[in-house]
Chains A and B, each alone.
Chain A
Amino acid sequence: MKRKTISVLLMCAMTTAMLAGCVKPSADNGNSEVEQNEDSNKITIMSQDTTYGAAFEEYIAKAEKATGLEIETVACPTNTDDRQAKITTILSSGDDSVDIITINDEMMSAFKNTGYLEPLQDTVMTDEIIAQFPEKYMKDMTMVGENVYSVPCFMDILAFWVDEEKMANAKLESIKTKEDFEKYVKANSGDGKYGYGDAWEKTYVFNSIGTFVNLFGGDYYDWTNPKTQEAVKFMYDMMKNGETPLAQMADQYDPMMQKFFDGDYASIFMYVGAIQTFVDSGKFGPDKQHIAPMPTFENKTAYMSTWGYVLNSASKNKAAAQKFLEYAASEQGELDYTAMSSRLPARSDVLNSEELTAMNLAGLDDIKEYVNETELLARPMAPQAMEFISEMGSLFQQYVSDEMSLEEFCEKAQNSVDTYIEE
């Protein structure tokens, strides 16, 4: 009896101790009242660029020299889900161990409305500076009202790539219009080859869906718009006509690029940031596989995306962090970043500068043409970005697999937009 009593008491004590922590769950994110370390010159940056190794260390050394700061760096997880989870945990819990973090568009759209990020328009991203970045993109992606939350470190564009050797099959010299595109794709389809290739895995396909919707003059947020519907039907018809394979539903960008290199695809949409992979394949060149100007359907548009530096609102070293961000947003900072990563600078003045030309980046002239001649748009994002992207991708997969009709797809897509965008 006594033993039982002691056992029960011990269990109760243990459970009570555990339950003492069981209050209403809360995430204690930092606010503007965070006490600052006066005269601090040390900051911590969490960046995905640590994978550049020595080049990243050199970039940080240049930043330290330019700012007089002592910069500690922390690596981001390389897996997308892990990275988002870790960064969200840091920001939402008010963790001040990291001052600056590099985030992508998906995370930007998630965090900019949460209060986790410090606005930068009064300190770093002044009107003069922000004017150098793509205006529409900055407004759609990095701003809430007048508040700017990010300093883009590089820019990427979802460009149109063609295989010049296959132009002759369509008797074309260039692809300028929708009709040219259709002719090129049709002429290069058959015998296991496809005129157009893509990555239709459910978290990737939204890039192409949006690209076609924009080219057709539709609106990704309005699935009652006939032009939006026409764009998706166009993709479906290409698959039905054997001009693009259904099998790419399992593909992300790596298999898509491999099939392009192998000659299975005559054209793709792919981010220019992967240009080095094309160069390394040995298939890159003006008479081989290269970036082509975006054809004009009803519009001539392309998606751009960036990774940018954001300032943790819980940071205790904001003044020091702002010094780094000023450097990152400056011409020299952008050039130093490009020197490290071979990625394009986000500032258009730097993109057109002689210093950048002297770096001899592959495909630079083609990319400049995109910036100068093509309307660059931000991708459609929701605060719950990955959930929205995944749901739209999943619906599209069901549509192209004939598991639902176009009408049903558009209805469910609109429901998805209404759920995630309004929230």
Chain B
Amino acid sequence: MEKKRKKLWVAWILVFPVLLVRGFTTIYPIIMTFINSTYDMSLLKGSDFQFVGFSNYVRIFSGPKLVTSIQFTAIFTIVSMAFHLVLGIMLALMLNMKFKGKKFLRTIVLIPWAMPMVVAGLAARWAFNDTYGLINDLIRRFNESFHCDWLVQSGTARGAVIAVDLWKDLPFFAILVLAALQFISGDIYEAAKIDGAGPVRAFFSITLPNIMKTVLSLSIFFTMWRLTSFDVVYAMTSGGPGDSTTLVAYRIMQEAFTNLNLGYASAIAVCLFLVMAVLSTLQLKAIQKFD
């Protein structure tokens, strides 16, 4: 009993510094963000900050710029995740096949993911340029008269941002799904084949149920990453044209560090935090169904 108590105290003593650091670097900033969100904190208005209660939150839903950001963030997350799921599983199935050069392909497919998003975004800014970009250059090899200012029109700019995000992260999603595929025993497929199941039936009845838990778990992380995406917009479009590609995380950065409206930025951050908490909870409940 004495030994057990000693071990427990030693454990707490060893863990306590980490808890302190975690508290200082995570819990304290979160609490301060909540507090700051109730103040009119603008560094350009001087240092006397007024308590405004929930005014910053009301401002969120009355400001057209932020409504645009919320709309695009929703579109970006839903569309990107939909493609991640469909194309990611397809890519994983392809990488799971037996063919020559499989290992080489599995390696090079991860190259976009290994690149920093800021680098990819800056390169994409030029790649989608009508005059100098490689995208239009490639298309013009098939259609000489093709012209498209991708990053000038709202619709195409949004599409380009989603495309770059997919290009960057899809391989990583696919590799993780591939890992789950490796755990499915080949015997099951053989048995199904004997019973007369075709490839499509085998996919829906064997493959998908077996990887569903992994896919849902990955979906939590990938959805959170989409919701908090900032660097692709920062590097590629600076939120434009207009505000059409401004994601919520980019808006928080603009309000906090460009416009120096710390209170308002904190309120947006708190709302994003709450949305992420709700989504994570829903997805965790969905995963539990597969246990």
The interface of chain A, by Cβ under 8 A from chain B, is 3, 6, 10, 14-15, 17-19, 21-22, 24-29, 81-82, 84-85, 88-89, 92, 110-111, 114-115, 201-203, 246-247, 249-250, 255, 259, 264, 383-384, 386-387, 390-391, 394-395, 397-398, 401, 403, 423
Q: By CB atoms of chain B within 10 A, which of A3, A383, A386, A394 has the most?
A: A394
C-alpha gap A203/B259 in the complex (Å): 13
Pair B43/A92 contact, Cβ less than 8 Å:
yes
Report the minimal beta-carbon distance from A398 to chain B, rounded to whole angstroms: 5
A399 closest partner in B (C-beta)? B242
B24 within 8 A of A: yes
Which of B32, B44, B130, B154 is the one whose CB lies under 8 Å from A114? B44
The 7 A-B residue pairs with the shortest CB-CB distance, nearest first, are: A27-B47, A387-B259, A247-B149, A18-B28, A85-B257, A250-B151, A394-B242
C-alpha gap A319/B257 in the complex (Å): 32
Q: Given that A18-B27, A22-B31, A29-B47 are contacting pairs, would A202 and B19 also be in contact in the complex, using a CB cutoff of 8 Å?
A: no
B130 closest partner in A (C-beta)? A247
Q: With a CB–CB cut-off of 8 A, which chain A residues contact B258? A: 81, 84-85, 386-387, 390
22 residue pairs A–B, Cβ–Cβ below 8 Å: A14-B19, A18-B28, A19-B31, A21-B32, A24-B49, A24-B51, A25-B36, A26-B48, A29-B47, A81-B257, A81-B258, A84-B260, A88-B44, A201-B238, A203-B238, A249-B149, A255-B129, A383-B45, A386-B259, A387-B259, A391-B65, A397-B242
B153 within 8 A of A: yes
Which of B20, B154, B240 is the one whose CB lies under 8 Å from A250? B240
Pair B41/A250 contact, Cβ less than 8 Å:
no
B198 within 8 A of A: no
Which of A10, A246, A391, A398 is the one whose CB lies under 8 Å from B19? A10
B46 within 8 A of A: yes
Pair B260/A401 contact, Cβ less than 8 Å:
no
Pair B32/A25 contact, Cβ less than 8 Å:
yes
Q: By CB atoms of chain A within 10 A, which of B47, B125, B149, B253 has the most?
A: B47
Q: Mark B235-263, 1 if CB is under 8 A from A, else 0.
A: 00111111100000000011001111110
A21 closest partner in B (C-beta)? B28
Pair B152/A114 contact, Cβ less than 8 Å:
no
Q: With a CB–CB cut-off of 8 A, which chain A residues contact B239? A: 202
Q: With a CB–CB cut-off of 8 A, which chain A residues contact B28? A: 18, 21-22
Q: With a CB–CB cut-off of 8 A, which chain A residues contact B253? A: 81
C-alpha gap A21/B27 in the complex (Å): 12
Q: With a CB–CB cut-off of 8 A, which chain A residues contact B131? A: 247, 259, 264
Q: With a CB–CB cut-off of 8 A, which chain A residues contact B130? A: 247
Q: With a CB–CB cut-off of 8 A, which chain A residues contact B10? A: none
Q: With a CB–CB cut-off of 8 A, which chain A residues contact B261? A: 384, 387
Pair B24/A18 contact, Cβ less than 8 Å:
yes
C-alpha gap A88/B44 in the complex (Å): 8
A91 closest partner in B (C-beta)? B43
C-alpha gap A71/B19 in the complex (Å): 43
Pair A25/B41 contact, Cβ less than 8 Å:
yes
Q: With a CB–CB cut-off of 8 A, which chain B residues contact A26? A: 47-49
Which B residues, 93 to 131, have Cβ-Cβ distances below 8 Å to chain A? Answer: 125, 129-131
Pair A22/B32 contact, Cβ less than 8 Å:
yes
Report the minimal beta-carbon distance from B220 to chain A, rounded to whole angstroms: 25
Q: With a CB–CB cut-off of 8 A, which chain A residues contact B45? A: 114, 383, 423
Q: With a CB–CB cut-off of 8 A, which chain B residues contact A255? A: 129
B257 closest partner in A (C-beta)? A85
Pair B243/A394 contact, Cβ less than 8 Å:
yes
Q: With a CB–CB cut-off of 8 A, which chain A residues contact B16? A: 10
Q: Given that A84-B258, A88-B260 are contacting pairs, would A246 and B149 also be in contact in the complex, using a CB cutoff of 8 Å?
A: yes
Pair A88/B32 contact, Cβ less than 8 Å:
no
C-alpha gap A9/B20 in the complex (Å): 14
Report the minimal beta-carbon distance from A192 to chain B, rounded to whole angstroms: 9
B36 closest partner in A (C-beta)? A25
Pair B241/A249 contact, Cβ less than 8 Å:
yes
Which of A6, A84, A397 is the one whose CB lies under 8 Å from B241? A397
Report the minimal beta-carbon distance from A91 to chain B, rounded to whole angstroms: 8
B12 within 8 A of A: yes
Report the minimal beta-carbon distance from B260 to chain A, rounded to whole angstroms: 6
Q: With a CB–CB cut-off of 8 A, which chain A residues contact B238? A: 201-203
Q: With a CB–CB cut-off of 8 A, which chain A residues contact B35? A: 22, 25
C-alpha gap A111/B46 in the complex (Å): 9
Q: With a CB–CB cut-off of 8 A, which chain B residues contact A3? A: 8
Q: With a CB–CB cut-off of 8 A, which chain B residues contact A391? A: 65
Which B residues, 44 to 85, have Cβ-Cβ distances below 8 Å to chain A? Answer: 44-49, 51, 65
Pair B240/A403 contact, Cβ less than 8 Å:
no
C-alpha gap A390/B41 in the complex (Å): 20
B199 within 8 A of A: no
B39 within 8 A of A: yes
B23 within 8 A of A: yes
Given A384-B44, A401-B154, 15 new contacts (CB under 8 A): A15-B27, A21-B28, A21-B32, A25-B32, A25-B49, A27-B47, A111-B44, A201-B240, A202-B239, A250-B237, A264-B131, A383-B44, A386-B259, A398-B242, A401-B152
